Structure 1
């Protein structure tokens, strides 16, 4: 058997990069196993954490073996081992059933995508003729190795369940909403302080926007602030009462008394949580776009579209929650629904 050469190493590295580019395309595809099997999310994360440790070790060995001067007889087995680990990770991700929870799966896939990309960048950094930078970019093998280590560590920090995944993402959206509220208040404060003497320092520090709102525009901004505050209260209520404690009593109501399959119950809980999260994203995205539309000159059609989206999706979220709500909370959500209708009517009155 002939002794491997540097060209053999280059061929193995290129094959690894091409394989990972293919895996990235598969990871981005929406396919997920349609199964009601009750899969322990914590067990999945633990398995991925172990694979991440193995991959980090593979990356270290590839770097040592492939850095100049490369020793082909040592480099080839390490490249093959890294490829095998990445093959196992990719296959494992594709085998996770949708009953595990869409939100958790999305986070896992996003983390896996980072790992695949960073691993491809590491292999690409050793190629004499790297692949197109628009596909895979490399920052040198030392930096790339560290990036792979960091990406592998993220496997150990993944949420342990779909509920934890939803809580994490919900809190992120809530923080974005709070930031938007602060920006709207700042816009109104700036308008109220238009008559104050300008000492020039804001412009020096890049903080001077020189916004002047018309009377109508100011009324729209003030209505938007009320809308954002209402959404914030809805998000907080949902998080504290119907996500964190997983308060879904309807699953034990008369409609579910004959349901003895625990797997199916967990699947339904995950589906409900994912439904909450899908609506949260729609509301949050529309709110973000509305916030950027409030600066003059305002586009009334764009604002009306986003206000409608926020209000209607918020009302839809309320409808999804109501079957699980206590009587006290039913009254609260119905009052909240009425407030969304009133704010929406007020917007139309301003048009």
Structure 2
């Protein structure tokens, strides 16, 4: 028994050494590779990930029978971490010329492979010396997690343009989700023509799954809004709907430009797209802010501040798109429609503030009497 304990301690020491080496290598990936290095293709990374998957399978097979010998576990660790190290170095080579968005996508995907590998190896070493069948049953699941992480690399964007486009789409989906939540603020008995317009603007994104059986109490949220607050909510819905249209048209404009001009993944073009992505994310942030401020009591100053930021952001977006020569009439129409919705909401907020002030003055008068 003492010999098994000593062997397990030895394996833990070796494991610790391997984990430290991989961790140090992963830190290098935090920095984009220098342009002086030769760029590695993402296909090569995927091929190396297949080797990691095969090594994980080998690790799992060791535990299918009786307790393996210490030497077999040690050798499988060395082989696995050697392959994982090669995978990390190739992944780093893929970041040559990568902008912030692509670099982040690569880092997240690679980190998933590393994290699942660490969990698998720690668990297998912890099993050494035990005959617990329940513990051994966990090994196939851990191996499967490594397979999934490696397989997910095939869905990771391999170019700056693809990575940025995917992130812009996420902003559109996020804005659409806020729009759906805001529509729930409306009382079920209200007959508002805005529902139709909002529905049409989201027709392209309604295919995503939606839980219509979410908390039953949610249906009563809108009943807490006063008539004045309802008017603000309706105007805000128009702003969010038009913001969604702007983001969609921005994506279409960039996609059309790419298809027409076929620009290379050069730094100047990528920098412009990165800036547009940041502007999109700013729009999404302000839409989140407006959505959060609509619940009673409505935060009028915060909504006004968000509207100002959206207006200024749209101006910059138009300038950036024009610089890329990707401006279309439909895109301009979407921007102008959003500006109109912004003005209408600002006007409604002003009226609502005056009505609120008059109500407070009236209450003060009544109290004094």
The TM-score with structure 1 as length reference comes to 0.76
Moved more, 321-330 or 209-218: 321-330
Larger-gyration structure (1/2): 2
User: In the TM superposition, what whole-angstrom CA distance separates every residue of 1:129-161 from its partner, at most 9, and x where no partner exists?
Assistant: 99xxxxxxxx94322111110000011222242
Matched, 1:232 2:244: yes
Contact 2:33 2:95 in 1 (8 A): yes
Corresponding residue number in structure 2 for 1:217: 229
Which of 7, 13, 16 in structure 2 is aligned with 1:14?
16
Give the one of 55, 59, 79 matched to 1:58.
55
- With over 3 angstroms needed to count, the CA separation of the structure-2 counterparts of 1:210 and 1:158, relative to structure 1, is closer
> Once structures 1 and 2 are overlaid, which stretch shifts more, 326-335 or 291-300?
326-335
| Structure-2 change in CA distance of 1:343 and 1:85 (3 Å) | farther
- Give the structure 2 partner of residue 346 of structure 1: 347
Q: Is 1:167 matched up with 2:182?
A: no
Aligned to 1:35: 35
Are the aligned partners of 2:182 and 2:233 in contact in 1 as well (CA < 8 Å)? yes
Mapped contact 1:38–1:99 kept (Cα < 8 A) = no
Kept in 2, the 8 Å contact 1:318–1:333? The answer is no
Contact 2:239–2:338 at 8 Å: present in 1 too?
A: no
Report if the CA contact (8 A) 2:168-2:251 is conserved.
yes
SS of match in other structure, 1:192: coil
Aligned residues: 315
Once the two structures are TM-superposed, the CA of residue 76 in structure 1 deviates from its matched residue by 1.5
Whether the 8 Å CA contact 2:238–2:341 is kept in 1: the answer is: no
In the superposition, the TM-score normalised over structure 2's length comes to 0.72
Q: Which has the higher contact order (CA 8 A, sep 6+)?
A: 1
Quick check: 1:304 aligned with 2:304? yes
Does 1:45 pair with 2:47?
Answer: no
Write the distance in 2 (CA, Å) between the matches of 1:122 and 1:54: 16
What CA distance in whole angstroms lies between the structure 2 residues aligned with 1:126 and 1:146? 14
In structure 1, how many angstroms separate the alpha carbons of the residues matched to 2:62 and 2:7?
13
Q: CA deviation at 1:87?
A: 1.6
Cα shift at 1:340: 6.5
**Structure 2: where are the runs of 5+ without partners?**
1-5, 129-136, 192-212, 354-369
Structure 1 Cα separation of the partners of residues 219 and 104 of structure 2: 40
* Maintained 8 Å contact 1:311/1:344: no
1:71 maps to which of 66, 69, 72: 69
Shift of 1:102: 3.0
- 1:111-260, aligned counterparts within 5 Å? 111-128=109-126, 140-190=138-188, 192=190, 205-211=216-222, 212-243=224-255, 245-246=257-258
Secondary structure of the residue that 1:314 maps to in structure 2? helix
Q: Which range moved further: 46-55 or 270-279?
A: 270-279
